Every structure is written in structure tokens, then in C-alpha cells.
Structure 1
């Protein structure tokens, strides 16, 4: 059951990334438009990456469990962390411009 919970956690993270992208466009932030659009784009790409990671991670872990092999490592976690930092930096830069 832990594998399914992890899958669902990745999907919730994906939805949060999409919500962040839509919120940047829906809310009237005082950020410059170009920077805000770039940050929203980063969040959309990260949301898609999270959804893909959910599937790939679930499939790899399920295969490892059935074969009694070592569990796979974290796939796209570091990329997502860096992406969130980049998106936050884009929003911050846009607020100062």
C-alpha cells in the first residue's frame, strides 16, 4: 500500500504545481508579465514531470517488489526541487522589476 500512497502523493504534487501556475495568472500580482509567465511555464512543466514521475516510480517500485530486487532510488526529486527554486526566483525577480 505504501507504493500506491507514494503514487498518489506525486499526483497531489503535480496538481499543486498546476494550481501554482494557474494562480500566477489568475491573481493580480504586481510582478512583471514576462517573469510571471516564465514562472507559470516552469510550474506547468514541473507538474507534468511530477505526473510522469508518479507513473514511472510506481511501475519501477512495483517491478522491484515483485522480483524481490532492491528498490529504485528517487527519480526526478532533485529536478523538481531545483525547478521550484527557479520558479520562485522568477516570481521574485518579477516583483522587483
Structure 2
């Protein structure tokens, strides 16, 4: 028994009702990393985000170069803006997508 009454005993058994035998370790990690904190290790999510960032970066650089007379500085600024938009946009999309999947009980 611990000195603090609010801490459970280290040897206290886990209630069998709380453990879902159908959830794998990977699914449990995905739930925690998606809902609390952690690194997303899904290859599909990371590839999607990389492609989205590269597309937005290229669009931003192209628009910046086309819109201003000084092409190189405008392309650099536009590319940076595209990178930031792609990063946040794809991250927000993935956050919403994963939240909906978790609400439906799909923790792939």
C-alpha cells in the first residue's frame, strides 16, 4: 500500500472489464497518439502530409514568382507561405479525419 490514499496499489489487479481483448498494441498507441499526444507513425498519414506540403510549397512558389517582378524573392516568400499553409492545412485535415474515425470505433 502506498502512503497516499489516492494512489492505487502496484499489485492491484486490473479490472477485466476495462481491458478490450480486440485492441492490439498498435491500435492502443494510435488512439493515444491521435487523442492525447505522441508521434503519428502511420506511413499513409505521413506520405499524405509530405505530398500536401510539397504541392502547397510548389503552388506558393509559383504564384509568388508569377505575381511579382522580382521572381526569386517572391518565389521564396511564396514557397514559405505555401509550406506553412500545407503543414497546417494537412495537419488539421488529418486531425479531423482521425477524430471521425475514432468516434466510429476504427482505430487502425
Same structural fold, with TM-score higher than 0.5 when normalized by the shorter chain: no
TM-score, normalization by structure 2 = 0.38
